[in-house]
Amino acid sequence: MIYFLTGKQNPQKTKGLIGKKILITAGPTREDIDPVRFIGNRSSGKMGYALAASCAARGAEVILISGPVNLLMDDPSVHLIKVITAEEMYQQCMEYFPGCHAAIMSAAVSDFTPKVKGMNKIKRGNKKISLELVPTKDIAASLGEMKTARQVLVGFALESDNEIVNARKKLIEKNLDFIVVNSLRVEGAGFESDTNKITIIDRDNNIEEFELKHKKEVAEDIVDKLETYMNG
């Protein structure tokens, strides 16, 4: 199924991001085990693409760095860069972030990658095999280290327990301006669905909870918050 998005979908919004350049990451990453198998996750990319559409509709120039998804983006204000692995996404973010006013890190980046990747398909046998994993680079934390006073950095946290406590910790450790919290415990929220339920926590410890909404509407709430930081 193709989920078609365009930045022209929100004509009622003011052009509050004209002249701003915003980097957005979306979708999953894939870490190869061998030429036919990989480690991945259930991210559809719908949240990140909705964010890109919302920012473009408000006049921003958007750099959308996307993992493999079944989505299209039809807007000349959105520069789509397709990647596969966490390392590829890291390299693109490091290249483009210095020239951006803000970044929204909504991609579900793999936390681990196989230490050794098979050059050929691993054959089934009678013996057990072990897969050694090593950590990938933390993109949000890396951008947080290089962030300047004029830049805004937004993170995402998908939690299964202690959502607020864990999100606050990430916000501080990664030097974020605010963080968007998703819960795996809420039906209709998170990966693959068209809806989401979020809580936003900012660096001043303000907490704002939102009801379950379509991801296009959720994107508007997040970009409203972004505008307050960029134009405040």
* Active-site residue (options: 41, 120, 126, 206): 41
Catalogue the E-assigned strands of the chain: 3-5, 21-26, 31-34, 37-39, 61-66, 71-73, 78-82, 102-105, 112-114, 133-135, 152-159, 178-183, 195-196, 198-202, 207-209, 213-214
Residues 6 or more apart from 204 whose CB is under 8 A from it? none
E strand spans, 40-176: 61-66, 71-73, 78-82, 102-105, 112-114, 133-135, 152-159
Tokens of 229: 């930081």
DSSP annotation of 124? P
* Token pair 């193709």 in the structure block, residue: 2
DSSP three-state, residue 60:
coil
C-beta separation of 134 from 117 below 8 A: no
* Catalytic annotation present for 41: yes
CA distances from 150 to 101, 102, 109 (A): 7, 9, 26
* 175, burial (CB in 10 Å: exposed 0-12, middle 13-18, buried 19+): middle
Active site positions, annotated: 41
